[in-house]
Amino acid sequence: MYLRDLPTWAKNGLIISGGVALLWLIYMLSAVIAPFLFSLVLAYILNPIVRILERRSIPRAWAVLIMYIAGFIIGILVIVPVLFTIVAEGHELAARLGRLDVRQIAGDYHASLRALYDRYAAIPWLNDWVNGSVDPEKIRELAAKAFVSTKDLTISLFQQIFGIFVSAFSGVMGMILIPLLTFYMLVDLDLIWQQFTKLVPPMYRDSTLRIASDIDKLLNALLRGQLVCAFAFALLMTFGLWLSGLPFAFLLGPIAGIGNLIPYLGGLVTVILATLVALATTGASWATAATLAKAGVALAVVQGLDGFVVQPKVMEGSIGMHPLTVMLALVIGGSVFGFIGMLLAIPATCILKVLSNELYHELYDNH
C-alpha cells in the first residue's frame, strides 16, 4: 500500500506528527541549529531590500551580493567605529560598576540627608516627623538592598541578551557560518518557500497560503516598525543623555534602543543604567542627583516623543494592536519564557491575531 492511497485523515495525521517531531528535534538540537535559525531570521528581515533591487531588473543573486558589499562598506565606515566606541565605553563602565560600593553610597546619601535635616531642625513639625518615623539605619539598609537588586537585575538581563548572540555567534565558525547561510537563504528564499508549500496538503493549500501571506505582511510591518522605532529611540536617547551631561551617553543610547525592541523596556533600561552610571562616575553627591534629574527630564521627553509620536505613526497603523494587548502579551511572555518570551511576545501575538481572525471567519462568516 502506497502513502498516496491512505485516507485523508491518515495523511494529515502523518504530516502533523512529522511537524511535531520536527519541532521536538529542533528543540533538542537548538544549540546546533541556532546559527541556522538566526540566519533565517536575518534573511527574512533583509529580503525586502533584495526585492527592491529585483524590481530594478537586477538578478536575485546579484542583488544579494550588492547588498552584502554595501553592508560591508557601511560597516567599515560607520558601524565598526561606533562599535569600537561602545565596546571601549562598555569596558570602562563595567570596571567602574565592579568598584561600586552600594553600602558606602547609601551611607553618603544618608549623611547628606542628615546634614540637610540638621540645617532645618529648628522647624518643629519636621523635627518631630524625622525623629518619630525615620530610622537612619533602616533607610541605609533599604537603600543598599535596592542598589544591589538593581545591579543584579541589570547584570542578569544583559547576560540573557548576550547569551542569545553568543549561542549563535559562538566561535569563529559561527561568525563565518551565519553570513554564508544568510547569503544562500536570501538567494534561495523563494525556492525554500515553494518547497514548503508542497508539504501542505492540496485541500488546505489555498487557505494556508492566504494565512501565511497575512502573517508575512503583519510580521514585515512589525519588524520594520520595531527597527525604525528602536533606531529613533537610540538616536534621541543618546542626544538627550549627552545634553544632560550624563557620562557614557554614546553607550547608553544604543543600549536603550536595543531595549526598546521590546515595547516600554527601553525607558526602564535607561533609568536603571543611568542611575548606576551616575553613581559609578560621580558617587553619592548632590551633583549626581542633579545629573539624574536632567537625565530624567531627557528620558521623559524622549519617552513622550516615542510613545505619542513615533510609535503611533510607525506601529499602530501597521499592526493595529491596542497598547493594552501589547502590555498583556509582554507580561505573559516574560513570566513564562523570561527575556526571550518578551522579545517574541509581539510577533507571536501578531501570528495569533491572524490565526484567530481566520478561525472566526471559518466558524461564523460562512454561515
Per residue in 238-294, pLDDT tens? Answer: 898 888 888 888 888 888 888 887 777 777 777 777 877 777 776 666 677 787 888
Cell digits of residue 154 = 541589570
How far apart CA 129 and CA 138 sit, in angstroms, is: 16
3-state helix, strand, coil in the chain (%, to 5): 90, 0, 10
Single-letter amino acid code for the residue at 256 = A
* Kind and range of the H or E run holding 17: helix 8-28
Look up residue 179 and give its DSSP letter: H
Per residue in 121-143, pLDDT tens? Answer: 555 655 555 555 555 566 556 65
Q: Residue ranges of the domains in the chain? A: 35-109+147-199
Q: Which of 155, 151, 147, 153 is nearest to 110 (CA)?
A: 147
The whole-number pLDDT of residue 86 equals 72
* Mean pLDDT on 184-190: 87
Cα 261 to chain center, whole Å?
4
Q: Is-contact 231 314, C-beta < 8 A?
A: no
* Mean pLDDT on 188-192: 84
The whole-number pLDDT of residue 65 equals 92
Q: Is-contact 339 161, C-beta < 8 A?
A: yes
Q: Give the list of residues 6+ apart from residue 229 with CB closer than 8 angstroms, or none.
A: 260, 306, 310, 311, 314, 315
Cell digits of residue 179 = 553570513
Evaluated on CA atoms 42, 305, 262, 246, the torsion sign reads positive
Q: Which of 228, 233, 225, 279 is nearest to 252 (CA)?
A: 233
CB atoms within 10 A of CB 125: 7
Cell digits of residue 343 = 522579545
The whole-number pLDDT of residue 285 equals 64
Least confident of 91-100, 114-123, 175-184, 249-258: 114-123
Per residue in 193-235, pLDDT tens? Answer: 888 787 777 777 788 888 888 888 888 878 878 888 888 888 9
Residue with cell 516615542: 306
Cα 172 to chain center, whole Å?
25
How far apart CA 354 and CA 293 sit, in angstroms, is: 44
Q: Is-contact 143 136, C-beta < 8 A?
A: no
How far apart CA 330 and CA 13 sit, in angstroms, is: 33
